[in-house]
Chains A and B, each alone.
Chain A
Amino acid sequence: MRIYEELFIAKPDAPDEEVDAFIEQMKTSVSNAGGTVDKVEKWGKRKLAYKVDRYREGAYVLFQFSAGPETVKEFERRLRVSDLVIKFLTVRIDETLKRLDKRKKERDKRAHRKSIASPAAPPPSVAQQMMGEPASAPAMPGLPKEA
Chain B
Amino acid sequence: MPEFKGRPGSAGQRPTGGDKAVATQKKAYFRRKKVCRFCVEKIDDINYKDMKLLHSFVAERGKIVPRRISGVCAPHQRRLTDAIKKARNIALLPFAAAF
B94: which of A49, A103, A143 is its contact (CB, 8 Å)?
A: A49
Q: Which residues of B contact A7 (CB under 8 A)?
A: 49, 90
Contact B23 A89 (CB under 8 A): no
Contact B94 A50 (CB under 8 A): yes
In the assembled complex, the Cα of A8 lies from the Cα of B89 at a distance in Å of 11
B90: which of A87, A142, A143 is its contact (CB, 8 Å)?
A: A87
Q: Which residues of B contact A130 (CB under 8 A)?
A: none
Question: What is the size, in residues, of chain A's interface with B at 8 Å between Cβ atoms?
Answer: 20
Q: Which residues of A contact B49 (CB under 8 A)?
A: 7, 62
In the assembled complex, the Cα of A144 lies from the Cα of B92 at a distance in Å of 47
Question: What is the size, in residues, of chain B's interface with A at 8 Å between Cβ atoms?
Answer: 18
In the assembled complex, the Cα of A49 lies from the Cα of B92 at a distance in Å of 6
Q: Which residues of A contact B93 (CB under 8 A)?
A: 49
Contact A143 B23 (CB under 8 A): yes
Q: Mark B30-46, 1 if CB is under 8 A from A, else 0.
A: 00000000000010110
* Interface of A toward B, CB cutoff 8 Å: 7, 9, 48-50, 52, 58, 62, 87-89, 91, 96, 100, 103-104, 107, 142-144
Identify 17 new A-B residue pairs, CB closer than 8 A, beyond the known A7-B49, A143-B25.
Answer: A9-B90, A9-B91, A49-B91, A49-B92, A49-B93, A49-B97, A50-B91, A50-B94, A50-B95, A62-B49, A89-B89, A89-B90, A91-B48, A91-B86, A100-B45, A103-B44, A107-B42
